[in-house]
Amino acid sequence: MTAKRVIYEGRVQGVGFRFSVKEIAQGYDVAGWVQNLVDGRVQLEAQGDESEVDAFLQGIEDSHLRAHIRRKVVTPMEAVVGLKGFQIRP
């Protein structure tokens, strides 16, 4: 099990970014969440098998969202025991 936090910068709020990420997540065996940050960035946390998490993050990069992402910072983190599903947080 691996877990990663990703901070996306660019035009990532007000363009359906979180909704699209949640839709992409449905195609992968990952758990986690995505939320807007007050400074205009978007934070995502995802966990699962390393290959699934990496494929999910690549799926975001390969989607139409790529045009909105100027920069991303990926940080490994500890997995949360019992986390299920993928959610949009307010």
Which residues are the active-site residues? 18, 36
The residues, any chain, with a CB within 8 Å of residue 72's CB and separated by 6 or more, are: 6, 7, 8, 9
Using CA atoms, how far apart are residues 55 and 39, in angstroms rounded to an integer?
27
The β-bridge relationship of strands 31-36 and 2-10 is unpaired
The strand pairing partners of 8, in sequence order, are: 42, 72
